[in-house]
Structure 1
Amino acid sequence: MCRVVDLQQAVLAKNEEAAQVLRAELTARGTTVVNLLSSPGSGKTALLEQELLLARQRGVAVAALTADLATENDAVRLARSGVPVKQVLTDGLCHLEARMLGRHLDGWLPADTRLLFVENVGNLVCPASYDLGESLRVVLASVTEGEDKPLKYPTAFGLAHLVVVTKTDIARAVEFDEDAFRAHVQQVNPGVEVVLTSARAGEGAGALLDRALAVGAGGAVHAPVMAQEPQAHHHHHYEEGQAGHVHPHPHPHTHPHAHPDPAVAQAR
């Protein structure tokens, strides 16, 4: 049985409310949340492992929560850094939601955590529409994914506070056109910073950590134009499975998703 339902208020608005509450709670305790989004295989976990190691060396209290549909492979890798790490298995859900994140943080996140890195589920569609209460949203793309990635996923790149390019050590081998990529990023998100990194070669090491610490200290955050536009009109295709369990599949229409809360829009 399938039915099409407008979930603009029913799902996204509820998530926005939960995200605002979570952001306020974590900010009050001095914790800055960094939401990492990318396609599978972008090198997100390798880069995060590097940044966690650097944070520990600098004496910065950090933690990481990583989400996947299955396996605890990423958590095992990140735990090698020696910082608190938690794996979340979404059981088929293609993204994290603010309420879900809050439940997993409750009773686990150390009280003195200064930075919490959230490695979202690997895709650039579903997670783009869900605010997790983050203060810094980072979208990553590897040099192997093509210069037109920002144009193909305008919502993900258009709502980013920071864009990170990974695997630059092989950029020449795959004929990555940096200028074209930067131009496409600016087309969907004017003014956003683009950082080049290579976990293998060490390029850009600490850049993500530095940006996150700056935001936590009250530094300015890029304000995406897309986040200030009228809120999107999303239709979700609902599939009812066994025991009446419902799985939403978003189909965004012409306008991108935005954050209606003025405080959030200003922070972004």
Structure 2
Amino acid sequence: MKITLNEDVLVDNNTAAAYLREQFIESKTLVINVMSSPGAGKTTLLEQTIAKLSNDFRIGVIEGDLATEIDADRIRAAGAQAVQINTKGGCHLDARMVAKTIPDFDLSEIDILFIENVGNLVCPSGYDLGQQHKISVLSVPEGNDKIPKYPVMFRRTELVLLNKIDLLPYLNFNVEVAEEDLMGINPDSKLLKLSATTGEGMDEWFNWIKEAYGKL
């Protein structure tokens, strides 16, 4: 039996995403959707980003997790407004979830809004959240197989942050292979090497954010 789909199964999500995008454009808010597997270091990256850029930019964060407010509490302690979304088992955020948080923010008072998506290398990449930029975080301990095994994630992101490079001397990870794999999947993407823990390479990430904000 052949089933014909006459309507985009993501139509509701895409409608909400279009609404969000209009709101972000109107308020001149830079919105960055940050995706990765669990434990890649997204929250630590955002903590350090807030510490470095909060004197120049007003920053807000939407935190996506299955449960708890652990990461949102960390972001608040770092000095940024954070709103937690608990998906209660869902493997990704969608635009409708994000839209429900927007009344908690005064977008006219937010220059940069980070959306820390649920830790997962599959589902999050397929959902438009109204963001201007999708990036992914890959950590050295995850190994070299993640880019070729999860090509959709890396095909749909314009920037890959290779985190925890301070561990390179202790682990079997080949940076050149990661760069080759990424270019083979997404020649328009870019890989930045950094450590959110030690600060190595973070200036290039900060400069990327500033440049993205300047293009609004």
**Does the residue aligned with 1:11 lie in a helix, a strand or coil?**
coil
1:261 equivalent in structure 2: none
Aligned residue among 22, 25, 42 for 1:24:
22
- How far apart are the structure 2 equivalents of 1:155 and 1:198? 25
Alignment of 1:1-268 (within 5 A): 9-56=7-54, 58-218=55-215
Note closer, same or farther for the CA distance 1:75–1:9 as it changes in structure 2 (3 Å cut). same
Higher helix share: 2
Q: What is the total number of aligned residue pairs between the two structures? A: 214
Note closer, same or farther for the CA distance 1:8–1:167 as it changes in structure 2 (3 Å cut). farther
Task: Please say which of residues 184-193 and 102-111 is displaced more in the overlay.
Answer: 102-111
| 1:51-108 deviations in Å (ceiling 9; x for gaps) | 011111x321111111100111111111121111111111111111112101111233
Note closer, same or farther for the CA distance 1:94–1:8 as it changes in structure 2 (3 Å cut). farther
Runs of 4+ in structure 1 deviating by more than 4 angstroms, as ranges, are 5-8
The answer on whether the counterparts of 1:51 and 1:206 sit within 8 Å (CA) in structure 2 is: no
- RMSD of aligned Cα (Å): 1.8
For residue 110 of structure 1, report the CA deviation from its aligned partner. 4.6
Note closer, same or farther for the CA distance 1:113–1:172 as it changes in structure 2 (3 Å cut). same
Note closer, same or farther for the CA distance 1:109–1:161 as it changes in structure 2 (3 Å cut). farther
**Does the residue aligned with 1:116 lie in a helix, a strand or coil?**
strand
- How far apart are the structure 1 equivalents of 2:174 and 2:186? 18
For structure 2, the residue ranges without an aligned partner over 5 or more in a row are none
Note closer, same or farther for the CA distance 1:7–1:110 as it changes in structure 2 (3 Å cut). same
**Does the residue aligned with 2:33 lie in a helix, a strand or coil?**
strand
For residue 145 of structure 1, report the CA deviation from its aligned partner. 0.9
Note closer, same or farther for the CA distance 1:79–1:14 as it changes in structure 2 (3 Å cut). same
Task: Please say which of residues 191-200 and 14-23 is displaced more in the overlay.
Answer: 14-23
For residue 8 of structure 1, report the CA deviation from its aligned partner. 8.3
**Does the residue aligned with 1:165 lie in a helix, a strand or coil?**
strand
The answer on whether the counterparts of 1:148 and 1:184 sit within 8 Å (CA) in structure 2 is: no
For residue 118 of structure 1, report the CA deviation from its aligned partner. 0.6
The answer on whether the counterparts of 2:151 and 2:185 sit within 8 Å (CA) in structure 1 is: yes
Identity of aligned residues (%): 36
For residue 162 of structure 1, report the CA deviation from its aligned partner. 0.6
- How far apart are the structure 1 equivalents of 2:118 and 2:92? 5
- How far apart are the structure 1 equivalents of 2:20 and 2:204? 26
The answer on whether the counterparts of 1:18 and 1:99 sit within 8 Å (CA) in structure 2 is: yes
The answer on whether the counterparts of 2:64 and 2:86 sit within 8 Å (CA) in structure 1 is: yes
- How far apart are the structure 2 equivalents of 1:8 and 1:94? 26
**Structure 1 length-normalised TM:** 0.75
Note closer, same or farther for the CA distance 1:200–1:107 as it changes in structure 2 (3 Å cut). closer
